[in-house]
Amino acid sequence: MLLQATPDTTGYMIAGYALTFIAMGIYIFSLSIRAANLKRDLETLEMLEAEERAKQK
Burial (Cβ within 10 Å: 0-12, 13-18, ≥19) of residue 9: exposed
Query: Site map for another protein, 16-55, x if CB under 8 A?
Result: xx-xx--xx--xx--x--xx--xx-xx--xx-xx------
Q: What whole-number distance in Å separates Cα of residue 16 and Cα of residue 18?
A: 6
Residues in the chain: 57
In angstroms, give the least distance from the CB of 53 to another protein: 11
Binding site residues, another protein, CB under 8 A:
6-10, 12-13, 15-17, 19-20, 23-24, 27-28, 31, 34-35, 38-39, 41-42, 45-46, 48-49
